[in-house]
Structure 1
Amino acid sequence: MISRRVLVTGATGYIGGRLVPKLLEAGFDVRVLVRTPLKLRDVPWADKVEIFEGDLGDPASLTKAFADVEVLYYLVHSMGTPGDFEKTEHRAAENVARAAAAAHIFRMVYLGGLHPDVEELSPHLHSRVEVGQILMKSGVPTAALQAGVVIGSGSTSFEMIRHLTDVLPYMPAPKWVRNRIQPIAVRDVLYYLVACADLPADVNRTFDIGGPDVFRYGQMMNGYALEAGLKQRAIASLPVLTPWLASQWVNLVTPIPRNLAIPIIASLQYDCVVHERDIDDYIPTPPGGLTGYRRAVRLALGRMRDGDVETSWRNSSIEGAASNPLPSDPEWAGHIVYTDLREKNTFASPENLWRVIESIGGENGWYSFPLAWAIRGLMDKLVGGVGLRRGRRNPDHLNNGEVLDFWRVEQIDHGKFLRLRAEMRVPGKAWLEMTVTPAKGGGSLYRQRAVFFPRGLGGRLYWAAILPFHGIIFEGMATRIAATAEAEAHTAAARALTKAPAGRVGR
């Protein structure tokens, strides 16, 4: 071995973006080849790797990037791109095969799709198989891993399970919901990919990889429902739903783009299970064993905080998960999050503004539409919630963990930031954040954000139902908080001039 340098293609994708830090941890010098380096601007590992700009469809752009590379990871696909993606993938694979052989690369590692041994595969699976064959015929030893549904937030297959199950309490589904699937956790996929860099030089073949569980697709959806705190879904298999019709249905009820849904659904027409476990002869199973499906879902949902979560909710900082999704992830990845953001500039000082924020609730009220807040508190009480009567311990000061009406102080950075977690009965999880930022030239900026993670269809309908009131309640709240801070600033200034004793403005 002349070096420990690896090249990752597809570093802006789901697997590639998560593989890079694992390779860095393993001690490799990492180089990435991307068409648009700007997409890596905000990823946490960008300053630790060499970034080369290039396109697998352009052979001339590969030569410099491939120089002095020991191991090449081929993690790109053209699924979802306009035109004939099979021809695009075929051409890219041939370009890489020739360039890798010319650069005397020691090994290539490719991630393809788990598939049955049949002649008529879907276009997506057929293309994945063909790419692996091209790489294995290149003269460069290639390990072509074949995985089925990868479980992790941001994985297209997992996101389809997540969104369908979240939205639909009853699911008319194609007959492929009865097909057998062997999912694998993203952490186990990454483990095998890293380990493949040290395979013996004579290994040039495919390897099936999968988790320990085999389910029908419908069972996977209900397993997700249980981990997400939802009721199990009634699923009816309808043979009239063709792959094309099913993809239109998925596109209608989920944010998954149609051009991705069509090839994914076409690939689900077959059982997708491991046929051989030869990988075990070369690479030991991950420490602690392969990750079971239910545990993989918990990790994807950010429910487990063991310091090794590969993926989590897009707004995982709210949940306190161990790691955040990458900025390069698609917008539709992750748990659905609804937000309401309000900002107000005020000439009041940050100190004046913070005093108003920290005294919110209890006898001081919520600064907008008191009747609406009272009705919401009563409704919560009627359904067994805590209501508004808990009040607050101190009229002027808050601490972490304290009760505040039907909220609880989840985080407070005195003078700067307050986050409240809702403890009223809602079909999901809700937070309210208030931030103070000093403004240039004096004054301050008030930023108010409501965040809601809906649970199931009920959560989405709840948000839609209250949406018309946000313009009244949240906008009024932001306006009154800023105005009250300004009034207090005026009063304080006037009293300072008359040397009157300081006090609070009545509300």
Structure 2
Amino acid sequence: MIKSLHGRGGSVCLVTGASGYIGGRLVPALLDAGYRVRCMARSARRLRDHPWADRVEIAEADATDPESTRRALHGVDVAYYLIHAIGAAGGFAETDRRAARTFGGAARDSGVGRLVYLGGMDPEEDLSPHLRSRAEVGEILLRSGVPTAWLRAAVIIGSGSASFEMLRYLTERLPVMVTPRWVHSRIQPIAIQDVLHYLVGAAALPAEVNRGFDIGGPDVLTYVGMMHRYAAVAGLRHRIVVPVPVLSPRLSSLWVGAITPVPGSLARPLVESLRNEVVCAEHDIDGYIPPPSAGPVGFDRAVALALRRVRDADVATRWSSAGTPGAPGDPLPTDPDWAGGSLYTDERACRSGAPAEKAWEVIEGIGGEHGWYSFPVAWRIRGVLDRLVGGVGLRRGRRDPDRLRVGEAVDFWRVEEIEPGRLLRLRAEMRLPGLAWLEFGVRRDGSGALVTQRALFHPRGLAGHAYWWAFRPFHGRIFGGMCRGIARAAEQEVPSGARAPARLP
């Protein structure tokens, strides 16, 4: 089945693996470059939550099934092969081999003019099963009879990339690391922005080009070097690394699985691949596709871009699936749950018998002289502790007791977003080992209102995780009490322009 769009000009590009990390970011890049895009997936439903879903054609097909694959490739000028069975149950090598042969043959039969494949580097040494399978796929496509550009990359730096997420979690969660020998393997990482630049550019390669190209960023680092530099960019303390030669890749993958939320079936082949040094042997690609106009993105900047949504004020929108990311390195709402770094949440909902308008009045008047509607002693103590460590404490209060504007201070919070009558989001400015937000919402619920409340905390380093779990037992009293207090305050008979008492239990 093909769901098609009409009236769009330009060549037709088919993207396989559009629900994955690279494919989900390549599709909007191709659309922005003026191409028509058709996405191939085993189920169209897997693509419906992507922000670009209504701008593409969708073809349902299985890359191991010749008939459905030929239908999907009909009328296609350029096909991107971004399929890999890593993480799948059973052996992935045979699945990869069969899918590549089927797809290459179907592309030839359908008259496709160009294949573009993103795989791993192919160093001249004993390859891990993961890299060996990626290399075999590349060779199969090169022999398919369709001109193929095989782009070979090492570690891709961007939020959502499995390799980057593994680096992120290991560095953030372990101030002291006992590591195997593979942390000294040399790696030439590349930013997701540059990967997309070369992928889009490969669509216009001359027909006679049928070969592989190494693509990499400007920095060659060891894995331990990447961890140290990640820590510096993320504002973490210098990491202490103690190598232990006896840790095999198998044991290392179990260790990574215990420390990070990256699934073990994915972490294991990635860790095994780290025993290979992956450094560009050539840079011929620049002779066909000019480098990015601003130059290649270095490792430190790539990490900073990957962390941008975490460090910027609108970080909370990433986890609430707010829409299209602003840059290729930003998280997508469809990324796996384990991607994007740790984010702890505490969500509450309370029904109030008061009208939604009255509940909103209470929410907009929170803080300052009205207080926080729960456990006032705890709030005062937290304010004193914040001042003792150089923070602002509760002394700032608020400009207006009843109305708020974006950018205003509310005690040790700052108004980040306000949608009158519907949403208030505050960003914490107290001293914390991480970033925190407090979000309130209200909507009509029959004759009353439903008050929603969400606390979010993005920890920085091990101290951040410890901070969250140390205070976790008190969340029911503090956050739960706050939600109930707001709901009860709204029910009180309050004259227009007045407010409910601040110190509700």
Alignment TM-score, normalising by the size of structure 1? 0.93
Instruction: Map 1:105-120; keep pairs closer than 5 Å.
Output: 105-118=112-125, 120=126
Deviation at 1:140, TM superposition (A): 0.6
2:78 and 2:223 map into 1 onto residues whose CA distance is: 35
* Matched residue, 1:361: 367
Please tell me whether the aligned partners of residues 302 and 316 of structure 1 are also in contact (alpha carbons under 8 angstroms): no
Instruction: Map 1:484-495; keep pairs closer than 5 Å.
Output: 484-488=489-493
Please tell me whether the aligned partners of residues 437 and 457 of structure 2 are also in contact (alpha carbons under 8 angstroms): yes
Report the residue type matching 1:147 in the other structure. A
1:204 and 2:214 matched: no
Deviation at 1:305, TM superposition (A): 10
* Matched residue, 1:315: 319
Deviation at 1:393, TM superposition (A): 2.5
Please tell me whether the aligned partners of residues 400 and 411 of structure 1 are also in contact (alpha carbons under 8 angstroms): yes
Determine helix, strand or coil for the equivalent of 2:203. helix
Report the residue type matching 1:467 in the other structure. R
Instruction: Map 1:415-430; keep pairs closer than 5 Å.
Output: 415-430=421-436
1:466 and 2:471 matched: yes
Deviation at 1:505, TM superposition (A): 4.2
Report the residue type matching 1:4 in the other structure. S
Instruction: Map 1:146-295; keep pairs closer than 5 Å.
Output: 146-295=152-301
Deviation at 1:396, TM superposition (A): 2.0
1:138 and 1:115 map into 2 onto residues whose CA distance is: 19
Please tell me whether the aligned partners of residues 172 and 462 of structure 2 are also in contact (alpha carbons under 8 angstroms): yes
User: 324, 339, 347: which is aligned to 1:341?
Assistant: 347
Structure 1 gaps of 5+ residues are 493-500
User: 16, 19, 25: which is aligned to 2:23?
Assistant: 16
1:227 and 1:138 map into 2 onto residues whose CA distance is: 44
Deviation at 1:158, TM superposition (A): 0.4
1:38 and 2:36 matched: no
* Matched residue, 2:61: 54
Determine helix, strand or coil for the equivalent of 1:129. helix
* Matched residue, 2:3: none
1:157 and 1:331 map into 2 onto residues whose CA distance is: 15
Q: Structure 1, residues 107-136: CA drift from partner, whole Å, max 9, x if none?
A: 100001013112x21100000000000000
2:69 and 2:321 map into 1 onto residues whose CA distance is: 38
Deviation at 1:444, TM superposition (A): 1.4
User: 29, 34, 40: which is aligned to 1:27?
Assistant: 34
Change beyond 3 A, Cα 1:352–1:116: same
Q: Structure 1, residues 235-273: CA drift from partner, whole Å, max 9, x if none?
A: 111111100111011100110010011100111001110
Could you list the structure 1 runs, at least 4 aligned residues long, displaced by more than 3 angstroms after superposition. Answer: 303-306, 311-318, 501-507
Please tell me whether the aligned partners of residues 362 and 500 of structure 2 are also in contact (alpha carbons under 8 angstroms): no
Q: Structure 1, residues 394-433: CA drift from partner, whole Å, max 9, x if none?
A: 2222222222111122222232221111111110011111
1:380 and 2:386 matched: yes
Percent identical pairs in the alignment equals 56
Determine helix, strand or coil for the equivalent of 1:198. coil
Please tell me whether the aligned partners of residues 428 and 452 of structure 1 are also in contact (alpha carbons under 8 angstroms): yes
* Matched residue, 2:481: 476
Structure 2 gaps of 5+ residues are 1-8
1:299 and 2:278 matched: no
2:218 and 2:161 map into 1 onto residues whose CA distance is: 19
Please give the root-mean-square deviation of Cα atoms over the aligned residues, in Å.
2.2
Determine helix, strand or coil for the equivalent of 2:492. helix
User: 455, 461, 464: which is aligned to 2:460?
Assistant: 455
Q: Structure 1, residues 277-297: CA drift from partner, whole Å, max 9, x if none?
A: 111221111111111111111
1:382 and 1:317 map into 2 onto residues whose CA distance is: 37
1:407 and 1:7 map into 2 onto residues whose CA distance is: 47
Q: More displaced, 328-337 or 385-394? A: 385-394
1:399 and 1:97 map into 2 onto residues whose CA distance is: 57
Q: Structure 1, residues 83-108: CA drift from partner, whole Å, max 9, x if none?
A: 11000000000101111111111110
Report the residue type matching 1:234 in the other structure. I
Determine helix, strand or coil for the equivalent of 1:21. helix
1:312 and 1:505 map into 2 onto residues whose CA distance is: 29
Please tell me whether the aligned partners of residues 149 and 183 of structure 1 are also in contact (alpha carbons under 8 angstroms): yes
Q: Structure 1, residues 131-181: CA drift from partner, whole Å, max 9, x if none?
A: 000000011110101000000000000001101011000111111111111
Q: Would you say how many aligned residue pairs link Structure 1 and Structure 2?
A: 489
Please tell me whether the aligned partners of residues 183 and 223 of structure 2 are also in contact (alpha carbons under 8 angstroms): yes
Alignment TM-score, normalising by the size of structure 2? 0.93
